Structure formats: structure tokens, C-alpha cells
């Protein structure tokens, strides 16, 4: 089935300027990701890694002599996650093209893993890009990706952008009537708590909001504009200023 065209996400006012190829420098690193049969190798300019990631700034800072072996090993990371990050470093997007059905080629789970990687490696702008892509994917396929909830609640900090986005989608776009009695078995408890709190604070009874009150078309229009609310601008701003000369 064809997916609907991706909604456009307005440019985040806190977006970090892309690094110009003129500033890539000449130091290439080999990044070995995963292990065994699942190992993949990527070559990346050091300046790209250190510009975007506080983890790599700390790990690759200082002088690297010609003789030094320029290899970074990330055996516990997922090569598919690094592949998306690698693409984002060079092109500013997490993938090169949509599938023939017009769908985002990354699963919601992979997008969530990219977010967690960005959080762990100090790349707040990568987290924000993951949030934007999950907004686009969820709206174009019109599915609530509840399959990622356990992973997200096990691997992200409380109240982070990704959790808040999933709570919003869960509260406003999910048909709870079918599943509310089994909710405790199917969803993380903290998620249910977050949905309940949002439902209370929203004041307009958020559950199923877009299905009844606002309507889907209007919802699609408004939520894309709100993507910024699920970005972490504090960390993004700190990261931008940390790499200014």
C-alpha cells in the first residue's frame, strides 16, 4: 500500500549549520561497528565526527600523528544505526530515498535506536532528526508504533523528546477502546502513566483526540508544525556553541 506523502517539517530555529566540505580536513577515521558477521566498516572525516558529537570530540580530540592508527571500535553498536548516522553526517538526512511505496525506509525501531545512539554519543541534533523522521513516518503511514515503547522506555531518560512524542501519538491517535483492558500487559507502565498525565493536563481529553474532535486532516497539518516541541533545544544549543571558535 502506498504511504501518504511525507509532511514537511519546518526548519528548526536551533538547527546546527551543516559543516562545509571545505572544513572536513584531511584526517579520515575508520569506524568499525558491530562484531562478528554483523561487523561493518565506515570511513569518516574526523572533523565531521567531532563537530557533531561531544563523545567523539572527547575521544578524538588532541593531536593525531600520521603514525597513529586512526580506528574507532564500536563493537556494541548496531551497524544499521551507524549507517543512518553516517548518511546524516554527510547529507543531513537519515536515508537516501523513500521505498517504491513512498515509505520511509527505516523502521520505527531503527529510528528509535538512532535516537538512543544520538543520546549516548552526545549528538543532540541527530536525536532531533530522529524525532522529525518519526513524526513523518507515523503520519504518512498513519500507524502508532507501539512496538518501540518497551525499548524506548528502557533506554531513554524520563521526559525526553522521543517519549513525549510517543505519549502524544499514543494519547491522540491510538484507538484505546480496543485495547484499554489489556493495556497493562501491552505497554510499559510508565508510558501509561505519562499518557494519563498528558490526558489530564491537556484539558481537552486527549485520548483519541484526532480521531473524533479535531479530525485527521487537521491533525496532520498541525502536528508537523509542532515537531520542534519534541526537540531538545537546550542540549542542541550547548552543542552548537561548544564547537564555535
Positive or negative, the CA dihedral 140, 141, 144, 149 is negative
> At closest approach, how far in Å is the CB of 94 from Zn ion?
16
- Of 12 and 220, which CB lies nearer to Zn ion in the complex structure? 12
Site for Zn ion in 43-62 (CB under 5 A): none
- Of 199 and 235, which CB lies nearer to Zn ion in the complex structure? 235
Select the residue whose beta carbon is closest to Zn ion and give its number.
12
- Of 6 and 44, which CB lies nearer to Zn ion in the complex structure? 6
Residue 143 sits in the site that holds Zn ion (CB under 5 A): no
- Of 167 and 236, which CB lies nearer to Zn ion in the complex structure? 236
Site for Zn ion in 7-36 (CB under 5 A): 12
Instruction: Round to whole Å and give the CA distance between 57 and 121.
Output: 10
3-class secondary-structure state, position 80: helix
> At closest approach, how far in Å is the CB of 211 from Zn ion?
27
- The span of 5-13, 78-86, 97-105, 170-178 binding Zn ion (CB under 5 A) equals 5-13
Beta-carbon contacts of residue 14 (< 8 Å; ≥ 6 apart): 228, 231, 233, 236, 237, 240
First-to-last alpha carbon distance for the chain, in angstroms, is: 49
Give the strand pairing for 40-45 and 71-74: unpaired
Indicate left, alpha or beta for 24 from its phi (over 0: left) and psi (-120 to 50: alpha): alpha
> At closest approach, how far in Å is the CB of 15 from Zn ion?
7
Strand order in the sheet with 28-33: 40-45, 28-33, 71-74
- Of 31 and 134, which CB lies nearer to Zn ion in the complex structure? 134
Q: What number of chain residues touch Zn ion (CB under 5 A)?
A: 3
- What does the per-residue mask of binding to Zn ion show for 77-116, with x meaning CB under 5 A? ----------------------------------------
Site for Zn ion in 203-242 (CB under 5 A): 228, 231
Q: Are 136 and 230 in contact (CB under 8 A)?
A: no
- Of 13 and 21, which CB lies nearer to Zn ion in the complex structure? 13
**Other C-beta atoms within 10 Å of 68: how many?**
10
Q: Are 70 and 64 in contact (CB under 8 A)?
A: yes
Q: Are 189 and 227 in contact (CB under 8 A)?
A: no
> At closest approach, how far in Å is the CB of 88 from Zn ion?
16
- Of 152 and 228, which CB lies nearer to Zn ion in the complex structure? 228
Given the rule CB under 5 A, which residues bind Zn ion? 12, 228, 231
Amino acid at each position: 500500500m502506498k504511504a501518504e506523502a511525507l509532511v514537511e517539517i519546518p526548519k528548526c530555529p536551533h538547527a546546527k549549520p551543516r559543516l562545509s566540505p571545505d572544513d572536513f580536513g584531511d584526517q579520515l577515521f575508520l569506524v568499525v561497528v558491530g562484531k562478528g558477521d554483523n561487523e561493518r566498516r565506515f570511513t569518516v572525516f574526523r572533523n565531521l565526527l567531532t563537530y557533531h558529537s561531544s563523545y567523539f570530540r572527547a575521544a578524538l580530540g588532541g593531536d593525531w600523528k600520521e603514525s597513529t592508527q586512526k580506528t574507532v571500535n564500536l563493537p556494541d553498536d548496531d551497524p544499521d544505526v551507524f549507517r543512518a548516522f553516517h548518511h546524516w553526517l554527510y547529507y543531513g538526512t537519515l536515508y537516501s530515498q523513500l521505498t517504491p511505496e513512498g515509505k520511509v525506509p527505516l523502521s520505527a525501531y531503527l529510528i528509535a535506536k538512532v535516537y538512543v545512539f544520538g543520546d549516548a554519543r552526545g549528538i543532540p541534533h541527530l536525536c532531533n532528526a530522529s524525532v522529525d523522521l518519526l513524526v513523518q513516518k507515523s503520519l504518512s503511514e498513519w500507524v502508532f508504533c507501539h512496538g518501540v515503547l518497551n525499548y524506548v522506555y528502557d533506554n531513554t531518560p524520563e521526559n525526553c523528546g522521543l517519549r513525549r512524542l510517543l505519549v502524544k501519538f499514543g494519547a491522540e491517535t491510538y484507538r484505546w477502546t480496543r485495547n484499554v483492558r489489556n493495556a497493562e500487559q501491552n505497554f510499559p507502565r510508565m508510558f501509561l502513566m505519562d499518557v494519563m498525565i498528558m490526558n489530564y493536563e491537556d484539558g481537552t481529553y486527549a485520548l483519541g483526540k484526532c480521531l473524533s474532535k479535531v479530525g485527521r486532516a487537521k491533525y496532520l497539518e498541525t502536528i508537523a508544525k509542532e515537531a520542534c516541541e519534541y526537540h531538545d533545544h537546550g542540549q542542541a544549543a550547548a552543542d552548537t556553541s561548544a564547537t564555535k571558535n
